[in-house]
Amino acid sequence: MKAQMPIDFWFDFSSPYGYLMSEKIDALAARYGRAVRWHPILLGVIFQATGARPPVDGASSRASYMHNDFHRSARHMGIPYKPPSRFPLPTQHAARAFYWLQEQDAVLARQFAHAVYRAFFVDDRDISSPDTVLDIAARLGIDRAALAAALQDAALKARLKDACDQALALGVFGSPHVIIDGEPFFGADRLPQIERWLESGGF
């Protein structure tokens, strides 16, 4: 039996469909003997590099459709969701904190990522604030002062920038973007195709 490559999960902490994917991808992958590597990125950087406009822009009919679809899709998937009062938000502090934790404790980093997503999409907290990010970390037993210092570190900022560059090089253009053995799947609504791909090795 050949070794199974991990799945890569690219996402922005401000992405509702990224949140929905985050609640499902690990358990799904595990059923097929796969690990998942999580990679927070900044959609602002991706959109600027690709020349794309954000999918949710102001008061357009598309934007109002999408706000309704976020909520309906969450209900469809059985995932708690409360529309955040401020949306979207910048997420560089949360993403940097994730990469800092990842180097120390991958399990804790995963718990932190879930906690950030739920803070934003269930508890309506302002995850753009460094204080909120530190509060979330502290509740998981993470050293608040050490993380606060790390968030100022140039090497950590470069780590997030590298992740965005790597995403662009792989053709990532939005969130969530899941890559399985080179095959890309964009959107939480591709979960049924992801499952079929994992089951059959392609179709």
61 binds a second copy (CB under 8 A): yes
Closest CA to 114 of 10, 4, 18: 18
Q: What amino acid occupies position 168? A: L
Cβ-based nearer residue to a second copy, 76 or 139: 76
Residue 5 as a binder of a second copy (CB under 8 A): the answer is no
Would you count residue 73 as binding a second copy (CB under 8 A)? Answer: yes
CA–CA distances in Å: residue 186 to residues 23, 58, 172: 16, 23, 9
What is the closest distance, in whole angstroms, from the C-beta atom of residue 74 to a second copy in the complex?
11
Burial of 124 (0-12, 13-18, 19+ CB in 10 A): middle
Residue 135 makes contact with a second copy by CB under 8 A: no
| Cis ω for the linkage preceding 184 (within 30 of 0) | no
Binding residue for a second copy, selected from 33, 37, 65, 123, defined by CB under 8 A: 65
CB contact burial 85-121 (16+ within 10 A = b; e otherwise): eeebbbbbbbbbbbbbbbeeeeeebbbbbebbbbbbb
Quote the least distance from Cβ 103 to a second copy, whole Å. 29
72 binds a second copy (CB under 8 A): yes
Part in contact with a second copy (CB under 8 A); list of ranges 16-24, 131-139, 146-154, 179-187: 179-187
* Binding flag, residue 48, a second copy (CB under 8 A): no
Query: Closest Cα partner for 111 from 103, 121, 102?
Result: 102
Write out the residues near a second copy by the rule CB under 8 A.
50-53, 60-62, 64-65, 68-69, 72-73, 75-76, 168, 171-174, 184, 186-187, 189-190, 192-193, 196, 203
